[in-house]
Amino acid sequence: MPPRTLRQRVTDLFSRNIDQPIDDDEFDALAREVFAFQFEQCAPYRAYCTRRGIAPSDVTHWFEVPAVPTAAFKELPLVSGSAEAATLVFRTSGTTAGEERRGTHYVLDADLYRGSLLPTFRAFVLPDAERMHMLSLVLPASQAPHSSLSFMVQTVVEQQGTKDSGWYIDADRGIDADALLNSLETMIDAGRPVCILATSLAMVHFIEFLQAQRRTFRLPDGSRIMDTGGYKGRTRTIPAERLRSLYGDLLGIPADACVNEYGMTEMLSQFYDASLRDRVQGRSPSEPPVKRGPPWVRSRTVDPETLEAVPPGEPGILHHFDLANLFSIASLQTEDLGRVLPHGIELLGRLPGAAPRGCSIAMDILLDRSHE
Amino acid sequence: MNERFDAFHLPGFEPAGFVEVTARNLRIRVPRLEQADIRTIVSRLRAARAALLNVPIDNIIAAIDRSAALLAEDSEFRRDALRLLPAATGYSPAMCEYVLDRMAVDWRRDALHTLLAAELDNTAILDGFVEDPRTRRRITARGPDPCLHVFSGNVPGVAVTSLVRNLLVRGASLGKTARGEPVLPVLFARALRTVAPEIADSIAVTYWPSDQTALLDAAAESAEFIIVYGGDEAVRAVRRAAAPNTRVVVHGPRMSIGIVGSNALNNADSARAIAASIARATATFDQQGCVSPHAVFVQLGASISPRQLAHFIEEQLDSFERVMPRARLSPEEAAAIRNAKTRAEFAAYAGAETEVLPLEDRPYAVIYDARENFEPSCLNRVLYVRTFIETHDLVRILHPHRASLQSAAIEGFNESDALALARTLVDTGFTRITSFDRLPFPSSAWHHDGSAPLRELIRYIDWE
């Protein structure tokens, strides 16, 4: 375990004002201490850095901390500590080919995950509400113990959901669209807003169900959707804007209350569309639309070919430095393209041709089976 | 990107309008086509084919040979090819020249005679009815009227070979080029036009985007025979468009490998020599060919270890890079290579016997991986070096991929071991066994993916 103080100093950040950036020097000092800790604790990471001639004493700024490509999580446990001590083991959903190994994130300290995800979710999905009636189209954690998304949604429902919140999906039977429909009607009658939590692909399936039934709703004001997972469905592809307008047409949810989440199995912190928070706080919508994370994550971009840093605002491969990843690897190189802007990150897609990753594919297979 | 190329050869067809498309760093101009235009083009091809039936085979061979000479020796066609191919394909100029020269050998007189002799006992059946004394019938053979070729863009020259073979059986050809290589088949047809315009009239070549399915439908409907090169998506599109009765020959994605036995690994000199051949086979077409090796399996127990051979191959890839640089990669290709290297590097940290040579970003990589496994390479000069003890171990490793295996280069075995290994490889799905030197450039009479190059094009007619 690290000096108690390092973990303490990271968790202290979770209670800070989410809109208030951490002072550059403070972030930098903490990031470099986290690097030194991980360099010492994680032998493969130490070997990776050493092969590149970098040791903590050489690093003068967190930009210089070697970033680990997420593909490395497919090969071995990357933990700063002992993998046997992991309380949670998250796996990427992998591809249908099945031969490719899945990336695995060993989480030694579930409180760091809870501690990071909750304030961020509250800030961007519930900026105007303490508790909401939540309807989940993400599998419960008991049925998907290795899904980081299921753990996140479970935590959110338990902490921020009203008692009558519930799951409308089952690993064997897929989405229970009829039950979801009933619940939505009940909530409309009661005039109580809902918060739907789903993968984008699950929403596509539900929307197709509504279209087939020729049903449209106007959910009570304040209702919202948090969806995630992009649009990499093998069987169906609906562009994000189209999906958003369908949420409006079929469910009566305004575009700025559709909050898309961007996260990854290998990282304990998340990013969200800033639209709902901006509206609630009386700010005009950001242009271009951006995703924002908590202040304990910082992002930068590198050139896709040379991996040299590109100036802020230029497109490139996203690197994230997530202090919440204290017990695994904080400095990550993603396969996502984006731009880092002053008010958030703009996602420009995944590197085309790179293996698709995320929960949607596995979920799609599951849902297709349920449709048979 | 100032160069513009009229990427079509459509004899007797007057285009109503044109569209411009970007093929990597080349702007190409092609006619804007409707379904009716395809039918017009095909009816002209049929007329030209009727005339072709009266041209003696030797004249056709001579015309092909002279056109090939124009591409192989200094001429405006060769200069155009060497200027346009690097822009369209991304391959380095040196690579384009090397590939053109090697492919053009197959279009010369000697290679054409070899091909005809290998395929047909009696070429006279292409001219008219010939008595077959064994079966007491008369037989003649006709090439397709027309053959639709759907080309892929990975290996320049394959499209021309396809057109040439069809000419040898007096078939007419409608070639749809790929955006990745819209150049060489057009230049070949133009060269042929200067040599023998009446023969060149039996070839039409152009490009249209693959989302214009109506054009593919019209082309497939009017074709007597279809040959398609390309990925699963292209193949599916063609199969959908073809009438149920139309014969379709598919050259889909395939992989090749190498196997090095311990006889080649007794001293550093012989190991270096074989490493040079392996490096050349890997670097040719930047590994984009179905004949390109994804992995080389190296026998354990000789004085040169598989890991040492991997180092030798790395050295040879480095020298090859100096004479024939790799293409500049797209961000996604670069990312795929980084992923493969990252995984192998971290596998080593996890205790696996793997090594990335070199770890630094270079336009090639050898991934030494002694785990018993096989996975396809991400290509662009990334070769896996794997190990084996007995050749029968390879069967287990390769069997899951049997549907996509093609060529195996084997070296370093004595004659009886080589024979036993070859039999095993046949049962594992391979359709070609060769040496590393020959691996990238099969013989002109190659049974590509197991099919006969000329006989597959032919329709036989029996008179009993």
pLDDT band at residue A1 under the 50/70/90 scheme: low
Q: A231 vs A127, A177, A240, A249, B348, CA distance in Å?
A: 26, 20, 7, 19, 34
| Residues B259, B220 share a domain | no
Residues B317 and B327 in one domain: yes
**Would you place residue A370 in the very low, low, confident or very high pLDDT band (cuts 50, 70, 90)?**
very low
Same domain, B267 and B243: no
| Residues of B whose CB is below 8 A from A47 | 349
Question: Which residue did the predictor score with more confidence, B261 or B361?
Answer: B261
The answer to whether residue B447 is domain-embedded is: no
Alpha carbon A41 to chain centroid, angstroms? 26
Q: Which of B343, B359, B361 sits opposite A75 (nearest CB)?
A: B343
Q: Which residues of B touch A (CB under 8 A)?
A: 329, 331-336, 338-339, 342-343, 345-347, 349-350, 352, 359, 361, 375
Smallest Cα distance from A184 to chain B, Å: 41
Q: How many CA atoms lie within 13 A of A270 on its CB side?
A: 30
Q: Is A369 exposed, middle or buried (0-12, 13-18, 19+ CB in 10 A)?
A: exposed
Say if B460 falls within a structural domain.
Answer: no
Question: Looking at this predicted complex, what is its ipTM?
Answer: 0.85
pLDDT value for B173: 98
**Domain CATH for B352:** 3.40.309.10
| Nearest CA-CA distance, residue A228 and chain B, Å | 23
CB contact under 8 A, B339 and A304: no
Residue among A38, A52, A305 with most chain B CBs within 10 A, to mutate: A305
Cα B135 from chain centroid (whole Å): 37
CATH fold match for the domains A4-110+292-350 and A111-289+357-371:
yes
CA distances from B21 to B31, B77, B92 (A): 11, 22, 21
Is B445 a member of any domain? no
Q: Shortest CB distance from A354 goes to which of B336, B361, B375?
A: B336
Residue A196 binned pLDDT confidence (cut-offs 50, 70, 90): very high
pLDDT of residue A366: 38
What is the C-alpha separation between A233 and A362, in angstroms, rounded? 9
Query: If you write DSSP's letter for every residue of A113-176 in order, what string do you get?
Result: HHHHHHHHHHHHH-TT-S-BEEEE-S--TTT-TT-HHHHHHHHHHHHHB-TT-EE-EETTTEE-
CA-CA distance, B449 to B429, in Å (whole number)? 10
Is a pLDDT exceeding 80 seen at residue A350? no
The mean pLDDT value for A64-87 works out to: 95
Q: Are residues B151 and B119 in the same domain?
A: yes
Amino acid at B305: S
**Residue of chain B whose alpha carbon sits nearest to that of A305:** B331
Q: What is the pLDDT of residue B331?
A: 81
Q: Same domain, yes or no, for B397 and B319?
A: yes
Do B314 and B225 lie in a common domain? no
CB B259 within 8 A of CB B239: no
pLDDT at A72 over 80: yes
B216 with B88, same domain?
A: yes
Q: What residue in B sits closest to A67 (Cα-Cα)?
A: B342
Q: Which two tokens stand for residue B343?
A: 């995984």
Domains held by chain B: number: 2
User: pLDDT-based confidence at A362, cuts 50/70/90?
Assistant: very low
The verdict on domain A111-289+357-371 having CATH code 3.40.50.980 is: yes
Helix (H, G, I), strand (E, B), or coil: what is residue A180?
helix
Q: Do A72 and B346 touch (CB under 8 A)?
A: yes
Four-point Cα dihedral B258, B260, B261, B263, nearest 10: 140
Contact list in A for residue B342 (CB cut-off 8 A) is: 69, 71-72
Chain B residues closer than 8 Å to A78 by CB: 346
Rounded Cα gap, residues A343 and A292, in angstroms: 7
* CA–CA distance, B260 with A291 (Å, rounded to integer): 53
Q: Which of chain A's residues have a Cβ under 8 Å away from the Cβ of B352?
A: 75
Q: Is residue B446 part of a domain?
A: no
In this predicted structure, what is the pLDDT of residue A110?
A: 97
* A81 Ramachandran zone, left/alpha/beta (phi>0; psi -120 to 50): left
Specify whether the CB–CB gap between B304 and B265 falls below 8 A: yes
Q: Phi/psi of residue A89, each to 5°?
A: -125, 110
Q: For residue B342, how many other CB atoms are within 10 A of its CB?
A: 21
A4-110+292-350 topology per CATH: Rossmann fold (3.40.50)
CB spacing of B332 vs A353 below 8 angstroms: yes
Average pLDDT of chain B to the nearest whole number? 95
- Put simply, the answer to whether B343 touches A99 (Cβ < 8 Å) is no
The CATH code of the domain that includes B40 is 3.40.605.10
Q: Which residue on chain A is closest to B334 by alpha carbon?
A: A305
Residue with tokens 């392996």: B278
B170: left (phi over 0), alpha (psi -120 to 50) or beta: left
Average pLDDT over residues B383-403: 93
Query: Residue A243, Cα to own-chain centre: how many angstroms?
Result: 19
Across the interface, of B331, B339, B349, the residue whose CB is closest to A71 is B339
- In this predicted structure, the answer to whether residue A283 has a pLDDT above a threshold of 60 is yes
d(CA B223, CA B211): 19
Contact: B335, A335; criterion CB under 8 Å: yes
Residues B140 and B242 in one domain: yes
- The answer to whether residue B449 is domain-embedded is no
**B232 pLDDT exceeds 50?**
yes
Of A51, A69, A76, the CB nearest to B338: A69
- Asked whether the beta carbons of B410 and B380 are under 8 A apart, the reply is no
Give the mean model confidence (pLDDT) for residues A36-65: 97
pLDDT higher than 50, residue A231:
no
Query: Cβ separation of B361 and A76 shorter than 8 Å?
Result: no
Range of the domain at B28: 4-253
In percent, the amount of chain B with pLDDT more than 90 equals 88
Residues B247 and B269 in one domain: no
Residue located via tokens 């000329």: B454
Report d(CA B341, CA B347) in Å as an integer. 10
Q: What pLDDT is stored for residue A94 in this prediction?
A: 56
The nearest alpha carbon in chain A to B374 belongs to A99
Among A72, A317, A354, select the one facing B342 at the smallest CB separation.
A72
Give the Cα separation of B419 and B3 in Å (integer): 52
Q: Name which of B330, B345, B357, B379 to mutate to probe chain A: the one with the most chain A Cβ atoms within 10 A of its Cβ.
A: B345
Regarding whether B308 and B274 lie in a shared domain, the answer is yes
Q: Return the biggest CA–CA distance within chain A.
A: 65
The count of CB pairs under 8 A between chains A and B is: 60
Say which amino acid occupies A81: G
Averaged pLDDT, B317-344? 91
Would you list the DSSP string of B290-302? TTSEEEEEEESSS
Answer yes or no: do A48 and B346 touch at CB < 8 A.
yes
B12-43 per-position pLDDT tens digit: 999 999 999 998 899 999 999 999 999 999 99
Same domain, B305 and B389: yes
Residue A100 confidence class, pLDDT cut points 50, 70, 90: low
Q: Which residue of chain A is at minimal alpha-carbon distance from B328? A: A305
Q: Are A47 and B331 a contacting pair at CB < 8 A? A: no
The domain spans of chain A are: 4-110+292-350, 111-289+357-371
Distance CA A116, CA A326 (A): 12
Helix (H) or strand (E) holding B406, with range, is strand B405-411
Q: Cα B355 vs. chain centroid, distance in angstroms?
A: 31
B300 and B189 both lie in a single domain: no
Distances in whole angstroms, Cα of residue B242 to Cα of each of A143, B174, B453:
46, 14, 21
CA distance B366 to B341: 9
- Please compute the mean of the pLDDT values over residues B437-453 and round it to a whole number: 93
User: Residue A99: pLDDT above 60?
Assistant: no
Mutate to test the interface with A, among B233, B349, B357 (most CBs of A within 10 A): B349
What is the distance between the alpha carbons of residues A146 and A31, in angstroms, rounded to a whole number?
Answer: 28
A→B contacts (Cβ < 8 Å), by residue, are 43-44, 47-48, 51, 69, 71-72, 74-76, 78, 99, 304-307, 317, 335, 337, 351-355
CA separation (Å) from B284 to A32, B364, B379, B439, B441? 45, 12, 11, 10, 9
Q: Supply the pLDDT for residue A194.
A: 98
Q: How far apart are CA B321 and CA B97, in angstroms?
A: 15
User: In which band, very low, low, confident or very high, does the pLDDT at A2 lie, cut at 50, 70 and 90?
Assistant: low
- Rounded average pLDDT over B208-226: 95
pLDDT at residue A215 greater than cutoff 50: yes
